[in-house]
Amino acid sequence: MVALTGAARHPREVLGNKGHGIVAMLREGLPVPPAFCITTEAGLRYLADPAATMDAIWDDVLDRMRWLETETSRTFGRGPRPLLVSVRSGATHSMPGMMDTILDLGMNDAVEQALAGFGGQTFARDTRRRFTAMYRRIVGRAGREPVPADPYAQLRAGIEAVFASWDSPRAAAYRTHYGLDDRGGTAVVVQAMVFGNRGGNSGAGAFFSRNPITGAAEPFGEWLPGGQGDDVVSGLVDVEPITALRDEQPAVYDQLADAARRLERLGSDVQEIEFTVDDGALWLLQTRSAERSAQAAVRLALQLRREGLIDDAEALRRVSPAHVAALLLPALQPETRSTAPLLATGLPACPGVASGRAYTDVDEALGAAGRGERVILVRDHTRPEDIPGMLAAQGIVTEVGGAASHAAVVSRELGRVAVVGCGRGAAAALAGRQITV
């Protein structure tokens, strides 16, 4: 159990990628909500013996929760200023969207009433709605089990669910695809909540220090006023470009851009930062190396080499054989583009060209791919459970979502051509058709 203060040095293999990134941000003096980490070693023990592991670490968890209360001047599970927490996975190698996260944990009737006292009824009601839906989906077996009123029971069940998500089918499929060690296990990061849904000058977003789609040397990202980070990643709501934050809250934007530049130089790589603005105050929740398209990988490697952040050997390592193969794929000819009927348009999440039959059902897509058919997976939005279908597809299309949504981030990592945010009804219109993306 490690308090993430930035004072102690622990390797990424112990803290996981998320915890390691939090420590790096704290060392830079950046604004990060207080957090502690249950290490990957505990995660491995949990997989071998869940009950005994939870019993063994529980007193330490309670001790760290008391530390969080002191750091935040809030109290877990009661007012007048209640502490809510997020419980997040943290594998050594970043696995975007593959494991579970629970936000706003610690909610009950008394906490909702206390939240309303300083944030308003709408904020308190919305926060409870978010927590209840997420807890039931991840911990409560799709709503078949009630949400306990005891916040510590919520916390224990939440930690167990995040540990167990290491063995979820989607996470296992992801590791198999990338040849990652199944024995690595995940850490768990418990972090004090900050609230993008408080209203007013609040919101959440994702900020990239450079463009991960085109490789342009300029900031890129998305901003959702009045939302939480899960909204941005889910792709279920319309987001705004990061320039909207610059226009609405220029001081916050400048602070965020400066943090991104510092973290990029520290990590010698393009950074993706998850952030929340709570009533005008910027908080950084995590940072990691950004997933990028093949085109962006080449441009970014050259930029970072010219700027002296990496050497020649590292620049070559940054462009993988898969990137080269993607760049050598045939392009859509101008005459084809001008004569073929345009069926849908959206945001280019990962450049390229792919053709195949459109399938809206993951199991049907997997069956078709198993028969040797070229498949385009078309969904309203992609979920972590869709990973096997995304791996089998040549291209991905979604009705909703932006450049930081699950579909976009995973498509860039997998090197799958992707267009997101094509509008409601696109899936029904494309289903069963032979299409080119």
Domain ranges of the chain: 1-193, 194-314, 341-436
Confirm if 240 and 223 have CB atoms less than 8 A apart: yes
- Let me know if 142 is exposed, middle or buried by CB neighbors in 10 A (0-12, 13-18, 19+): exposed
Say what the pLDDT of residue 234 is. Answer: 78
Measured CA to CA in angstroms, residue 274 lies from 207, 223, 328, 407, 417 at distances of 7, 10, 33, 16, 24
Say what the pLDDT of residue 144 is. Answer: 67
- The rounded distance, in Å, linking the Cα atoms of 384 and 354 is 22
Closest to 404 (Cα-Cα) out of 192, 226, 242: 242
Which value, to the nearest 10 degrees, does the dihedral of the CA atoms of residues 82, 236, 384, 96 take? -70
Residue 142 tokens, joined: 């799709």
- The rounded distance, in Å, linking the Cα atoms of 254 and 247 is 11
Closest to 274 (Cα-Cα) out of 285, 262, 283: 285
Say what the pLDDT of residue 27 is. Answer: 95
User: Using omega within 30 degrees of 0 as the cis cutoff, is the peptide bond preceding 388 cis?
Assistant: no
**The pTM is what?**
0.88
1-193 to CATH, choices 2.60.120.260, 3.50.50.60, 3.30.1490.20, 3.40.50.10090 = 3.30.1490.20
> Could you say which architecture CATH assigns to the domain 194-314?
2-Layer Sandwich (3.30)
Task: Specify the fold of 341-436.
Answer: Glucose Oxidase; domain 1 (3.50.30)
In sequence order, the 6+-apart residues with CB closer than 8 A to the CB of 22 are 4, 32, 35, 37, 189, 191, 286
In sequence order, the 6+-apart residues with CB closer than 8 A to the CB of 112 are 124, 125, 127, 128
- The rounded distance, in Å, linking the Cα atoms of 90 and 54 is 17
In sequence order, the 6+-apart residues with CB closer than 8 A to the CB of 54 are 46, 156, 159, 160
SS3 state at 98? coil
Per-residue pLDDT of the chain (437 residues; tens, 9 = 90+): 999 998 878 999 999 999 999 999 999 999 999 999 999 999 999 999 999 999 999 999 999 999 999 999 999 999 899 999 999 999 888 787 788 899 999 999 999 999 999 889 999 999 999 999 999 989 976 556 789 999 999 999 999 999 999 998 888 888 888 888 888 889 999 999 999 999 889 999 999 999 999 999 999 999 999 999 888 887 788 889 999 999 999 999 999 999 999 999 999 999 999 999 999 999 999 999 999 999 999 999 999 999 999 999 999 999 998 888 888 877 777 777 778 888 999 988 888 889 999 999 999 999 999 999 999 999 998 888 888 999 999 999 999 888 888 888 888 888 889 999 999 999 999 999 999 99
